[in-house]
Amino acid sequence: MAATTKKVLGIVLAGGEGKRLMPLTLDRAKPAVPFGGHYRLIDFALSNLMNSGLRQVVVLTQYKSHSLDRHISTLWRMSGLFNSYVTSVPAQQRLGKRWYLGSADAILQSLNLIYDEKPDYVVVVGADHVYRMDFEQMIDAHIASGADCTVAAIRQPIGLANQFGVIDVDPEDPATIREFLEKPAAPQGLPDSPGEVLASMGNYVFTTEALIEAVRADGENTESNHDMGGDIVPYFVGRGSAGVYDMKNNDVPGSTSRDRYYWRDVGTIESYFDAHQDLISVLPVFNLYNDEWPIFSRQDNMPPAKFTRDARGTLSTVIDSIVSLGSVISGAHIERSVLGARSSVESGAMLTDSIVFEQSRIAAGATVRRAIVDKSAIVEPGASIGVDAELDRSRGFTVTETGITVVGKGVRVTRD
């Protein structure tokens, strides 16, 4: 394939604050937020790049990056042979004493990484989306098209267009972007499917010299928001050199008809919660068990999960759920939930429609419904979460409009 003969640098944008995921991002960067029991959100982007054959990858970090940096340095450490690496790069203030002003400015301030590596092409991806994608196929399509910029896009119902950055294509040349529309109210449908639009996935392939020229020009534009999707892509659209890569053409090994085109932006508590629900059905909407395109993550030395009767002989029941290594379930009921590593759910406790992070304890007789419980939290014996929204709010917990209660890291929930 064409991509294998070209040098490609991967850049993962991991510097956002993640305000909409508070309080999960109170003490960690958004890409470091746990997902699916023992993954971190960034593992999906990095796994896709690794499975696609990219071996030079930099992760641009900024806010609250300690746990993210530690995760990358311990899990994603590579041998260094053949110039292979995944490394985190903090904001370096090379252009003045300032933080990144946006994703395009992050690349502008990190151009030294591109100069050092001298790639032919640069793949730029976000760090907080859940999906599978073979970037080698996209790179090949970019090279064949002759475009300077190619945007990955996934088909979405036209009724959801106001939730995405939408790519308006030229009806005469559907591979060319005619306009980039930010959350449009009434866009046109696709030429071959009037009921659908192409939503940007936040993944891009650039010809290197064109990317350098674009971010330099953007850096001099005082009216720019310095955003990849909002400013850099329109720059290439205006020059007639922006193409679109339709995800329907991406064939990931081991994918099923149910999860082949799965992609979620988990930037809000609601979308984060819903993405977990996509994992746990008998035929999951997103399949974590695809061995042909694995999602890599930390593999700690822990015992298996354990399910026992309690002292009274009550059986544990676990239905449509994920239970991570090192966890102990004793005479409790768990349903439609995801439990992180080294956590416990004790006698008579009820855990339903919930996400529990690692090292947390749901004590005897406690009830947790439609909730997210952060790392090392304790729900004390007989206490409840998610049963009374007003009570949860009065205790200082975040409760979303859809009734999801979020308990912060290390919080102790007492019985009322």
Binding residues for alpha-D-glucose 1-phosphate: 100, 165, 182-183, 200
- What distance in Å separates the CA atoms of residue 225 and residue 266, rounded to the nearest whole number? 22
3-state secondary structure of 380: coil
Alpha helices (runs of H) in 78-166, residue ranges in sequence order = 103-108, 111-117, 135-145
Pair 59, 88: CB distance under 8 Å: yes
Q: Look up residue 86 and give its two tokens.
A: 């995944």
Cα angle vertex 110, ends 201, 80, to 5°? 90
Q: Look up residue 32 and give its two tokens.
A: 């470091």
Phi then psi for residue 211, to 5 deg, are -65, -45
Q: Which long-range contacts (CB under 8 A, 24 or more apart) does 105-108 make?
A: 105/215, 105/218, 105/219, 105/226, 106/13, 106/15, 106/60, 106/62, 107/11, 107/60, 107/211, 107/215, 107/228, 108/215, 108/216, 108/218, 108/219, 108/226
Query: Which residues are annotated as part of the binding site?
Result: 100, 165, 182-183, 200
Tell me the pairing of strands 367-369 and 350-352: parallel
- What distance in Å separates the CA atoms of residue 380 and residue 392, rounded to the nearest whole number? 15
Tell me how crowded residue 120 is: count the other CB atoms within 10 A of its CB. 15
